[in-house]
Amino acid sequence: MNVQMRLTDGNKVFRRNTDPALLSRLAVKAEPSIAILSCSDCRVIPEKVFNLSIGDAFVVRIAGNSASDPAVMGSLEYAVRTLHIRTILVLGHTDCGAVKAALEDEAHEGLGGVARDIDQARKLLSGCEANNVDAIAEANVKLQMGQIANGGRVIRDAMASGKLAIVGGMYDLSTGFVRLL
């Protein structure tokens, strides 16, 4: 089956299995309860990992769950300002390909700011952990939480007034378990 047919057939199944009233309600107004910054790895689908329905989460996905890209920060600021999000979750995962690629010198060029973030996270670790992909991925989640907290004015103001929390999580690819940090 070609890709276009797979997408078309998948959309038919989605439409058949989704309540039309829900789609009509969401077409008028989206009211997600959480924003999730997640890695773009195809094995980590936040909506499935947390058993969320369409409209439940505002999800931003980028390799290495990096917040350093202005478009990512702009998206999160939009979620807080316009959608009144009260929680941002930064979701990393085990066996992260972006972390592995950043550890290889030749991969840095294509990863840009993501590689810089991962290098910075790696410097927070010592000894064997500085070469452990999962330890680096977790340190990167914590680093991104800090970058978001110190990012734009909307997020800083919401945090200062107690209207926003930023939390981190690590998804284990082999078990499906999310450990909140």
Same domain, 76 and 25: no
* Residue 128: pLDDT over 90: no
* Average pLDDT over every residue of 64-84: 96
| The pLDDT value given to residue 108 | 59
Whose CA is closest to 103, among 91, 117, 93?
A: 117
Same domain, 19 and 42: no
| The pLDDT value given to residue 107 | 55
At 157, which CATH number?
A: 3.40.1050.10
* Average pLDDT over every residue of 97-120: 79
| The pLDDT value given to residue 127 | 85
* Residue 51: pLDDT over 60: yes
Between 86 and 123, name the one with better pLDDT: 86
> How high is the mean pLDDT of the chain?
93
* Reported pTM: 0.93
Same domain, 74 and 135: yes
- Domain limits at 21? 1-30
DSSP string, 61-110: E-GGG---SHHHHHHHHHHHHTS---EEEEEEETT-HHHHHHHSGGGHHH
Same domain, 15 and 84: no
* Residue 35: pLDDT over 70: yes
* Average pLDDT over every residue of 108-124: 81
Please report which confidence band the pLDDT of residue 4 belongs to, taking 50, 70 and 90 as the band edges: very high
Same domain, 24 and 54: no
Number of domains in the chain: 2
Same domain, 22 and 72: no
164 Cβ neighbours under 8 A, 6+ residues apart:
80, 85, 86, 87, 88, 155, 158
- The residue with tokens 């917040």 is 67
Long-range contacts of 44-47 (CB under 8 A, 24+ apart): 44/91, 44/93, 44/171, 44/173, 46/89, 46/91
